[in-house]
Structure 1
Amino acid sequence: MQRPLAGLTRRNFLTELTAGVTLLAIAIPLNIGYAQIAGLPPTAGLYALIVPTIVYALVVSSRQLVASPDAAAAALVASSIGGLAAAGSADYATLALAQAIICGGMFVLLAVFKLGFLANFLSKPILVGFVGGLALDIMVSQVAKMLGVKIDSGKEFTGKVADLIGGLATINLWAVLISVCSVAVLLLGRRYLRAIPWALIVLVATTLVVVLTGLDQRGVAVLGEVPAGPPELTWPMIDWSLWLALIPSAIALTLVTTAEGLLVSRSYSEKHGYPFHANRDLFAFGIANVAAGAQGSFAVGSSTSRTAAMDQAGSRTQFPALILAVGTLLLLLFGTALLADIPSPAIGAIVGVAIIPLLGIRDFIDLWRKDRFEFLIGATCFLVTLFIGSIPGILVAFVLALINIARRASNPAIDVLESSGDPGESLLEDAPAGTVTAPGVIVIRLAAPLFFANGAVFSTAVKDAIRSAGDGAVQHLVVDMEAVTDVDVTGAESFASLKGWLAARSVSLSFSRVRPNTLHRLTSLGLLTSEDVYSTNRSAITRLVPSSAERESLPKEDQ
């Protein structure tokens, strides 16, 4: 088992320490903003950086993945809990804790039963659409902060847009000025000097401006008092009906984090050559979320942006995460007074710039160029998430994933093979439908499992190939089974019907290159007897299609 903080040595200690300070500067302003997106107090975002971060860093196999609430998770928390309690209320905060604990339990179950593969159903178009919808919903709230316009963040997307448009007459010019300057610094800094913690610089600079000029007295909203002290252990006491009501949103949070977290974790492990253990990473997410729910925070996921920042800073261990936890705890103990005058427009600018990549504009353009159907999947998921809600969005995502799988599976490659080159070689090429590989013999290859989605398609393809060869031209059909890894009951019934059709036309049936598992399956389904198998190795096709000279030397009945 990999030891905690694997990769940390005396040689890289200073680099890791510096990366930890950078992570602290990035994470604190972002988590304050994400807590506000989730409808929770700033402490909820800061608490997530202490105990959950420590337990995750000590357990996870990834040496670089940063665990923290992110923008998409915060938006999902707000949209799912907003219908159960009023944002900012004690009941709302309690539900957020319960949701995190449920997420933790689901992560642990995924790890124990090795079910992480379920997240593979969230393909790139689905993730782009789902996260993009959440990001645009967040952006409206952040734009309102940047303009100094008050809106009800608990409303759906259309309600927020209506509030924003209706409140344009109340725009605060000082808030706009702070926002424009903040966005300019963040964008230019990210482009030219990425290593500098520009978010922290923006917070410090704008806070000083507000304090020195009294802009809070001129309508510029500020963060306000942040309670001092470390997080306290707690447990959400709610009715069982509310626990059950939180399960769908917890499933969505778990699946999105699993898909994104494991993908990012695997990519960095491959890039830098250290071990990656998916189930251990899922378990780490599980205990981190339980810790978050038990000490006043909300659901914890993976932070792609912060992980990338740590990679650029040269970090190859989880040591920066521990620096982050210690630094956040010291801030909560001794420095909360420094947070009270942080202007909300600056927080809106920081979060808004951070979520711009989540809108997926480039990804949608790329999908449009490469595959219009997958673009449609992403766009549908985007629109459902944006206009109907996050939970319907994730449900539609799974339905679209299944439709995409079924669409591809129902159109397998079905090839008619012919012999080519030296008569003694086993060289096969695809041939047009109706090509007879040898007098009276046709060989067809199905490059997919035979199951309910393609059984009828395969039968139709075989019939069309035989009909195309002409009446009586085919007396023997060989099905090349090398690529058939499984057969289900529906596929077997369709094949049985095909056997009857072949028998009625005096076409005999044989199989070639049958895999052992498939052979057993065909036998158990009643499709195959030992007399039906022509051969199970690659030389079968060569022997099946002899040269003309070889055919003349065969007994007449075998020619």
Structure 2
Amino acid sequence: MQKPLAGLNGSNIVRELVAGVTLLAIAIPLNIGYAQIAGLPPTAGLYALIVPTILYALIVSSRQLVASPDAAAAALVASSIGGLAVAGSADYATLALAQAILCGGMFLLLAFFRLGFLANFLSKPILVGFVGGLALDILVSQIAKMLGVTIDSGGEFVDKVVGLVSGIGTTNLISLAISVISVIVLLLGKRFAAAVPWALVVLVVATLVVVIAHLDAAGVSVLGAVPAGPPALTWPIIDWKTWLLLVPSAIALTLVTTAEGLLVSRSFGEKRDYPTSPNRDLLAFGVANVAAGASGSFAVGSSTSRTAAMDSAGSRTQLPSLVLAVGTLLLLLFGTALLADIPSPAIGAIVGVAVLPLLGIRDFIALWRADRFEFAIGAVCFLVTLFVGSIPGIVVAFVLALINLAKRAANPAIDVLGSDDDPQSSLLEDAPVGSVTAPGVIVVRMAAPLFFANGTVFSDAVKRAITAAPDGSVQHLVIDMEGVTDVDVTAAEAFESMTQWLDDNDVTLGFSRLRPPVADRMRHLGILGDQQVYATNRSAIGALTETR
């Protein structure tokens, strides 16, 4: 088992500490903004950087993955809890704590039962669509903040757009100026000096301008007083029915975080040549989320952008996360007065620029060019998430994933092989083929498990291959089973019907390259009797052509 802070040594400790300071500069302004997106006080975002971050860093197998609430998770929290309580109320905060604890419990169950593979059902088109829908919803709220326009940030997307458009006339020009300058600095800074923590620079300069010029008196909204002190141990007290109401959103948060977190963890592990353990990472997410719910925060996931920033800074350990936790604690103990005058337009600009890549515009373009059906999956998921809600969005995502899976599984590669095992012709076409492998012998291969979605497809393809050959020219059928890893009951029935058809047409049946577990399964289902089983296709062809 990998030790905590693996990879840390005397030669890199200074670099890791400097990276931790950089992470602190990035995380503080973003987490304040994400807490506001979630409808929670700024402290909820900051508390996530202390106990949950420490526990996560000490447990996770990844040496670089940074755990934190992110924009998509914050939006999901707001959209799922917004219908149960008023944003900003004590009940709302309690529900956010309970939701985080539920997420933690689900992560722990996934780790215990090794069910992380379930997140694989969230394919790239689904994630792009789901996260893109949440990102656009966030962006509308942040644009309103940047303009100084008041809208119901907890409302539906259409209501937010209507509120923003109708409130354009109340735009605060000073807020707009702060926002425009902030966006320009963030975008240009990222392009020409990415190593500089521009979000912190924008936050500090904008706050100084507001304080010196007393711009709050001119209508510029500021963050307001932030309670000082460390996070306190707490536990949400709600009835069991309310716990149940939070389960769907907790499932959605867990699955999205699992899919993204494990993918990022594995990719950076492979990039930097160190091992990762998916189940240990799930355990770390579980402990971090329970800690978040018990210390006044909300659901914690993985931060791809911060992980990439740490990688660029040369960090290869979890020490920066510990530096982040200590720095945030010191800020809450001694520096909360510095946060009170942070202008909301600057926060809106920082969060808005951060979520822009989440819209997935480039990803949608790539999907359109690569596969129109997968583009349609992403687009539908995007629209449902945006106009119906995040929970329906994740449900639709899974339904679309299953449809996509069934579509591909129902159309496996089925080929007539030549004597050299290369495909001669595909049986996916409806048109007759007329190919044989050798005189009197036809070898057919399917590169997929035989199950309910493709059993009849395979049977029909075999019949089509035999009937397309000249009358009476095929006396032997050999099925290459190398790509068949399983057979289910429905496919077995279709297979049995095909066997009867072969008998009626005086065609013998044999198998080649049959896996022992699949052979046992076929015997159990009663579809493997006295048929000849060959080690290779060549041995089958040789044996059968000699009998002619």
Same fold (TM over 0.5): yes
* Residue aligned with 1:474, SS: coil
What's 2:93 paired with?
93
What's 2:531 paired with?
532
**Alignment-mate amino acid for residue 205 of structure 2:** A
Determine if the alignment matches structure 1 residue 500 to structure 2 residue 500. yes
Superposition map of 1:97-496 within 5 A: 97-419=97-419, 426-431=420-425, 433-496=433-496
**What is the CA distance between 1:471 and its match in structure 2?**
2.7
* Residue aligned with 2:475, SS: strand
What's 2:59 paired with?
59
* Equivalent residue pairs, number: 542
Distance in 1 separating the partners of 2:164 and 2:260: 32
Kept after mapping to 2: 8 A contact 1:414/1:446: yes
**Alignment-mate amino acid for residue 87 of structure 1:** A
What's 1:555 paired with?
none
**What is the CA distance between 1:500 and its match in structure 2?**
1.3
Kept after mapping to 2: 8 A contact 1:513/1:540: no
Kept after mapping to 2: 8 A contact 1:534/1:540: no
**What is the CA distance between 1:481 and its match in structure 2?**
1.1
What's 1:543 paired with?
542
Kept after mapping to 1: 8 A contact 2:421/2:537: no
Distance in 2 separating the partners of 1:542 and 1:498: 21
**Residues 242-276 of structure 1: CA distance to partner in whole angstroms, max 9, x if unpaired?**
10000000000000000000100111111111120
Kept after mapping to 2: 8 A contact 1:106/1:254: yes
Kept after mapping to 1: 8 A contact 2:487/2:521: yes
**What is the CA distance between 1:470 and its match in structure 2?**
3.0
Kept after mapping to 2: 8 A contact 1:385/1:393: yes
Distance in 1 separating the partners of 2:77 and 2:60: 24
* Residue aligned with 2:83, SS: coil
Distance in 1 separating the partners of 2:424 and 2:386: 46
Distance in 2 separating the partners of 1:500 and 1:297: 65
Distance in 2 separating the partners of 1:340 and 1:430: 73
Is 292-301 or 269-278 further displaced after alignment?
269-278
Distance in 2 separating the partners of 1:350 and 1:253: 23
The 1:245–1:427 alpha-carbon spacing in structure 2 relative to 1, beyond 3 Å, is: closer
Is 71-80 or 444-453 further displaced after alignment?
444-453
Distance in 2 separating the partners of 1:159 and 1:545: 73
**What is the CA distance between 1:361 and its match in structure 2?**
0.4
Distance in 2 separating the partners of 1:215 and 1:145: 15
Kept after mapping to 1: 8 A contact 2:480/2:537: no
Determine if the alignment matches structure 1 residue 10 to structure 2 residue 4. no
**What is the CA distance between 1:367 and its match in structure 2?**
0.4
**Alignment-mate amino acid for residue 424 of structure 2:** D
What's 2:21 paired with?
21
**Alignment-mate amino acid for residue 84 of structure 2:** L
**What is the CA distance between 1:459 and its match in structure 2?**
1.0
Distance in 1 separating the partners of 2:6 and 2:513: 47
Kept after mapping to 2: 8 A contact 1:515/1:536: no
Distance in 1 separating the partners of 2:125 and 2:334: 45
**What is the CA distance between 1:320 and its match in structure 2?**
0.5
**What is the CA distance between 1:428 and its match in structure 2?**
3.8
The 1:427–1:372 alpha-carbon spacing in structure 2 relative to 1, beyond 3 Å, is: closer
Distance in 2 separating the partners of 1:434 and 1:80: 58
**Alignment-mate amino acid for residue 141 of structure 1:** S
* Residue aligned with 1:112, SS: helix
The 1:472–1:537 alpha-carbon spacing in structure 2 relative to 1, beyond 3 Å, is: closer
* Residue aligned with 2:259, SS: helix
What's 2:430 paired with?
none
* Residue aligned with 1:246, SS: helix
Distance in 1 separating the partners of 2:439 and 2:195: 72
**What is the CA distance between 1:437 and its match in structure 2?**
2.1
**What is the CA distance between 1:538 and its match in structure 2?**
5.0
The 1:241–1:450 alpha-carbon spacing in structure 2 relative to 1, beyond 3 Å, is: same
What's 1:72 paired with?
72
The TM-score with structure 1 as length reference comes to: 0.96
* Residue aligned with 1:471, SS: coil
Identity %: 74
**What is the CA distance between 1:479 and its match in structure 2?**
1.1
**What is the CA distance between 1:440 and its match in structure 2?**
2.3
**Alignment-mate amino acid for residue 526 of structure 2:** G
**Alignment-mate amino acid for residue 534 of structure 1:** V
Kept after mapping to 1: 8 A contact 2:443/2:537: no
Distance in 1 separating the partners of 2:479 and 2:515: 13
**Alignment-mate amino acid for residue 533 of structure 1:** Q
**Residues 69-99 of structure 1: CA distance to partner in whole angstroms, max 9, x if unpaired?**
0000000000000011010000000000000
Distance in 2 separating the partners of 1:286 and 1:148: 38
Deviating beyond 6 angstroms after TM superposition, the runs of 4 or more aligned structure 1 residues are: none
The TM-score with structure 2 as length reference comes to: 0.97
**What is the CA distance between 1:545 and its match in structure 2?**
6.2
Distance in 2 separating the partners of 1:11 and 1:508: 71
The 1:526–1:427 alpha-carbon spacing in structure 2 relative to 1, beyond 3 Å, is: closer
Distance in 2 separating the partners of 1:538 and 1:465: 17
* Residue aligned with 1:58, SS: helix
**Alignment-mate amino acid for residue 107 of structure 2:** F
Kept after mapping to 2: 8 A contact 1:437/1:545: no
**Alignment-mate amino acid for residue 54 of structure 2:** I
The 1:428–1:371 alpha-carbon spacing in structure 2 relative to 1, beyond 3 Å, is: closer
The 1:450–1:408 alpha-carbon spacing in structure 2 relative to 1, beyond 3 Å, is: same
**What is the CA distance between 1:477 and its match in structure 2?**
1.4
**Alignment-mate amino acid for residue 533 of structure 2:** Y
Kept after mapping to 1: 8 A contact 2:100/2:290: yes
**What is the CA distance between 1:502 and its match in structure 2?**
1.4
Kept after mapping to 2: 8 A contact 1:449/1:485: yes
Distance in 2 separating the partners of 1:29 and 1:545: 74
**What is the CA distance between 1:427 and its match in structure 2?**
4.8
- Structure 1 residue runs of 5 or longer lacking an equivalent are 420-425, 552-557
Distance in 2 separating the partners of 1:428 and 1:14: 58
